[in-house]
Amino acid sequence: MNEAAASPNPEAPRGVRSHARGYLGFLRMAAGRVTRGSPGFWIWTVGLLVVVWFGVDAWAKQVEQGMGVTGMTDHVSWGLYIANFTFLVGLAAGGVMMVIPAYLYRDKDLHETVILGELLAIAAIVMCLLFVVVDLGRPDRALHLVPWIGEFHFPSSLMSWDVIALNGYLLLNAHVCGYLLYKRYRGETPGRGWYLPLVVVGIAWAISIHTVTAFIYCGLGGRPFWNTALMAPRFLTSAFVAGPAFIILILQIARRFGGLTHGEGSIRTLTGILRVTIWINLVMLGSEVFTALYTGGSHAATTHYLYFGHDGKEALVPWMWTSLGAMLLGALILFLPRVDRRRGWLDLACVLVFGGVWIEKGMGLIVPGFVPSALHEWVEYVPTPAEWKITWGIWAGGLLLYTLMLKVALPVMTGQLRQKP
Amino acid sequence: MKPVCACHAKPGAISRRTALKGAGAMLGAAAFAKALAPLANWAREELTVEEFVQKHYRELDAEGLKQVLARHERSALEDYGAEVTIGDHRPREGVVFGYALNLGVCIGCRKCVEACHRENNHDRPGRGSYIRVLEMEKGSMDLEKGNARYEGLVPREGRFYLPVQCHQCEHPPCVDVCPVEATWREDDGIVVVDYDWCIGCRYCEAACPYHARKFNWRKPAIPKDEINPDQSYLGNRIRPAGVIEKCHFCLHRTREGRLPACLEACPTGARVFGNLLDPSSAVRKVIDHRRVYVLKEELGLKPNFFYFFD
Amino acid sequence: MKREWGGIVFSLGLAVVLAGTGVLLVLDGLREPSWPDDRRFSREETSSRLNREEVRMPEVELAMATGETGPDGQPVMQTCAECHADRRPNPHARSISSKGFHAGMDYHHGAQSCLTCHDMKNYDKLHTVAGRPLSMSNSLKLCSQCHVFQHRDFVDGVHGGMSGHWDLTRGGRQRQTCIDCHDPHHPATPPVEAEPPPVLVRGETEPEEKTP
């Protein structure tokens, strides 16, 4: 390693330039590390790459032939892409449920595992940005979104707020993760001034990314299904369901394959959080459904369509009942005391609530905002194979990024990977 | 640090494994290059450097605008084989356009829909139009009871007809939400789209409560001899794929003082168009002396489109 | 402690950078795309001279089929005056009662008799309610004597088709007249075939009831 020669004693005071060199060396080491691994690692990454390939292939064709290859129409003008975008903003924000106890309340165990949540935020935001790009009719004009180069419509357009929120959150997390891992790698104690203020900003920022994303939808008066003040709170609670559920699963995988020694306490804390947030989420959902169905009238048309269909149009009905069933079952399982002892039950509950929220926020929230359309026409939306390919391609790409980041981060955090003195 | 993998211990294996990885990487790169081929193809055919660096319509100077218009005229000739003139029609001071529609005499014949389709160079297979006519049940203004897909002889017993197009709101939510200022309300009240600036995110389409915005899901297909050659940059020129379009009150006609195509096509005279700032205009007479109804007025968007019953 | 200072300076610096970016963003957002070279408005001169609004005065062919076919294969037509030169008109003939030669005519115009509009002194003319003769092509004046609301709407520009200019300083306007759309003997307009509905898109189904 080059930087080792530059500074034989890591405790010695160092200039900014040598730190910059050192950080580059750290990144080089990381790049080298992710191109080596066990057969299992290769099967997993090459498998993901194949899925990514199908996504890239489908997206290139979508750009060439036009967005007509998707199942979207002028009636349902946002579909699977924006649905996944919305869900993934939540997943990115959900990691904050680890950050708060880890840094504000000095939870020892979470302090060792919180990097998983922060890296998840990075991967999720990258996926979000990709989902926005593939949804654009003119990706070649994406530069028009860049302040000063294009015409950035800030602060009027909530989309411009989201551009700032998402990219800012990406930078915050990239800095905090990079800094902490670099310091660990060098065997140095991180200087609190270098990351703690950003962590605190990051907590507020995590709330803001999902609030702003909710405001994109709930600020539209012409879409009664979205035009509810409960949208942002619902987004946050569902984020605090999906995030912890995903991380509980990842923690177990990291303990099994990544040599992570901590995590028991983290899983307990996150399970406790999940127990509460899933019920808040269900209560909010119930409240929305009651308000719509009891009042009736044209504003309830969408809710009725979601759960019971409309005149034989029932594309979303199975999705919605699956989602509701999964979330309820998961919530009930989480109540059982045995989930603390038997990981199988916990894992089942996590998968159920994660899948339930994915449906609820995707197909169950973005798509029905357009059904019926603004002139009350009933046009359903069913994603085409091209959309599924692109969607799974982006998910695979995100998982690949997350895997590679964890492959460097886990040994650094457990102390297996240290710069040679 | 323990060895990362076993190969570090055996120098002979390094080259074999590295060679394998190298071959794999090459193969992977070739596969991805193949997947991206349509993208390169599209960029070659549909994109030019001038278009890529083109400024926002409002920031073009006179010379730049001239070049842009000439370029679009050329590409209409290359892509569609049609000789067209693309003008830059600007609003007049002291004019704000308004539209009023007499639901008492509209018979739902869709002549306006068809006229818009032809005038505005809409995609032929998709039979695009900026106007949608709902067949409504008498005794109700509930859009839920509307049917846009009626066919056959009109008007039918017990029904009335509600044509809907862009309401050219004074507070257009579609303009507020656009992240790149590709759409704005002009001084004569017409909400326009810069088709060369729109990124195709369709946020405006979600924001519009009148279903007035349409997306170009594919490149419009129009036979050469059906193309209306009298075109305008912000108006009826042939739109590229992947951008939003909308009713612009036929600004290539109305800004020259002419009536919009949908009005001229209306056989019953249900459509009334004019300058809202002129108290003697036909549209002002309707608003001042009759009882007008504004669709979804509760949203507070202040449309310049009014319905009335005679 | 040196290290801590570095962190504090870093944080403060970052805060300044972030705040600066925020200010720049707002400034950029508030910056509207400008209009160079006075492109904002049309600079076309306005004229004070008003062009005319013309109501069509169609030529009316005053003849009726006799029901016979001539040697050229065309139906034999006869003007009112030709028959009524020696035939007295029936002043009571109206939609329900028309018989004989006029029975084939589709006449549904309320309780009006033929002579309400047609002038029995000069069959090439119409007459007003007051009995003054009126040209055959001036249906606007004839009809408006009874249909005052339709006439008011016509004058206000909210009844009847038109074409041309909304702005009369820049061009004229042509108006359709009553009989361009309404058959004077059967003024209720018959149903018309609507232009085709929008193309069915993905995920849309035909309504159960779309045609009568």
A61: exposed, middle or buried (Cβ count in 10 Å: 0-12, 13-18, 19+): buried
Residue A78, pLDDT score: 96
pTM over 0.80: yes
Give the domain ranges of chain B. Answer: 16-47, 97-308
Residue A217, pLDDT score: 96
What is the band of C9 on the pLDDT scale with cuts at 50, 70, 90?
A: confident
Instruction: Provide the CATH number for the domain formed by B97-308 in this structure.
Output: 3.30.70.20
Distances, alpha carbon B176 to alpha carbons B179, B184, B187, C29, C120, in Å:
8, 8, 16, 12, 68
A-C C-beta contacts closer than 8 Å: 72
How, if at all, do strands C162-164 and B305-308 pair?
unpaired
Check: CB of residue A276 under 8 Å from CB of residue A367: no
Q: Do C166 and B151 touch (CB under 8 A)?
A: no
Question: How many CB atoms sit inside 10 A of residue B93's CB?
Answer: 12
How far is the C-alpha of C197 from the C-alpha of C40, rounded, in Å? 38
Strand order in the sheet with B271-275: B271-275, B97-102, B305-308, B292-293
Tell me which residue has tokens 């080491």: A29
Taking a contact as any Cβ pair under 8 Å apart, which residues of chain B between 133 and 162 contact chain C?
147-157
How far is the C-alpha of B78 from the C-alpha of A308, rounded, in Å? 51
Amino acid symbol at A190: P
Residue B14, pLDDT score: 65
Residue C87, pLDDT score: 81
The three-point CA angle B132-B136-B141 to 5° equals 105
* Average pLDDT taken over every residue of chain C: 84
Residue of B302, B289, B24 whose CA lies nearest to B189: B302
C96: exposed, middle or buried (Cβ count in 10 Å: 0-12, 13-18, 19+): exposed
Provide the shortest C-alpha distance from residue B215 to chain A (in Å). Answer: 6
For the CA atoms of chain C, what is the radius of gyration?
35
Positions in chain A whose pLDDT score sits under 70: 1-14
For the CA atoms of chain B, what is the radius of gyration?
26
Q: Do A379 and C7 touch (CB under 8 A)?
A: no
Amino acid symbol at B263: L
pLDDT higher than threshold 80 for residue C98: no
Question: What are B113's two structure tokens?
Answer: 């829909």
For A230-250, the pLDDT digits (tens) are 999 999 999 999 999 999 999
Residue A9, pLDDT score: 46
The three-point CA angle A250-A254-A255 to 5° equals 120
All residues of chain C having their beta carbon less than 8 Å from the beta carbon of residue A198 are: 11, 14
B133: exposed, middle or buried (Cβ count in 10 Å: 0-12, 13-18, 19+): buried
Residue of B300, B184, B295, B189 whose CA lies nearest to B244: B184
Provide the shortest C-alpha distance from residue B279 to chain A (in Å). Answer: 32
Residue B1, pLDDT score: 42
* Average pLDDT taken over every residue of chain A: 91
The separation between CA B83 and the C-alpha centre of its own chain, rounded to angstroms, equals: 22
Check: CB of residue C33 under 8 Å from CB of residue B181: yes
For the CA atoms of chain A, what is the radius of gyration?
22
How far is the C-alpha of A318 from the C-alpha of A84, rounded, in Å? 18
Tell me which residue has tokens 């034999």: C76
Task: Write down the ipTM of this complex.
Answer: 0.92
Evaluate whether the domain defined by A38-414 bears CATH number 1.20.1630.10.
yes
Check: CB of residue C62 under 8 Å from CB of residue C142: no
For C114-123, the pLDDT digits (tens) are 889 988 888 8
Distances, alpha carbon A147 to alpha carbons A152, B178, B200, C30, C97, in Å:
5, 14, 18, 11, 80
All residues of chain C having their beta carbon less than 8 Å from the beta carbon of residue B149 are: 197-198, 200, 206-207, 210
Q: What is the DSSP string of C164-212?
A: EBSSTTS--EEE--HHHHSBTTB-SPPPEEPPPPPPPPTTB---S----
Phi and psi at residue B164, in whole multiples of 5°? -125, 135
Chains that touch C (3 or more CB pairs under 8 A): A, B
How far is the C-alpha of B205 from the C-alpha of B172, rounded, in Å? 12
Facing B205 at nearest CB: one of A37, A74, A301? A74
Positions in chain B whose pLDDT score sits under 70: 1-14
How far is the C-alpha of A112 from the C-alpha of A254, rounded, in Å? 12
Residue in chain B nearest C42 by alpha carbon:
B90
- H, E, C per residue of A334-361: HHCHHHHCCHHHHHHHHHHHHHHHHHHH
Count, residues in chain C: 212
For C174-205, the pLDDT digits (tens) are 999 999 999 998 999 999 999 999 999 988 88
Residue of C56, C60, B102, C28 whose CA lies nearest to A146: C28
How far is the C-alpha of B205 from the C-alpha of B245, rounded, in Å? 10
Q: Which are the contacts of A144, defined by CB distance < 8 A and separation ≥ 6?
A: A150, A151, B180, B182, B197, B199
How far is the C-alpha of A346 from the C-alpha of A256, rounded, in Å? 16
All residues of chain C having their beta carbon less than 8 Å from the beta carbon of residue B107 are: 189, 191-192
How far is the C-alpha of B191 from the C-alpha of B186, rounded, in Å? 6
Residue in chain A nearest C13 by alpha carbon:
A194
What residues of chain A have any CB closer than 8 angstroms to a CB in chain C? 13, 71, 73-76, 147-148, 151-156, 160, 164, 191-195, 197-198, 311-313, 315, 377-382
Report the pLDDT averaged over residues C87-115.
Answer: 76
- DSSP bridge partners of C192: B154
How far is the C-alpha of B106 from the C-alpha of A381, rounded, in Å? 32
Question: What are A127's two structure tokens?
Answer: 């996926």
How far is the C-alpha of C11 from the C-alpha of C7, rounded, in Å? 6
Q: Which are the contacts of A4, defined by CB distance < 8 A and separation ≥ 6?
A: A419, A420, A421
For C34-83, the pLDDT digits (tens) are 787 688 899 888 788 999 999 998 888 777 777 778 888 888 888 888 88
Check: CB of residue B162 under 8 Å from CB of residue B307: yes
C138: exposed, middle or buried (Cβ count in 10 Å: 0-12, 13-18, 19+): middle
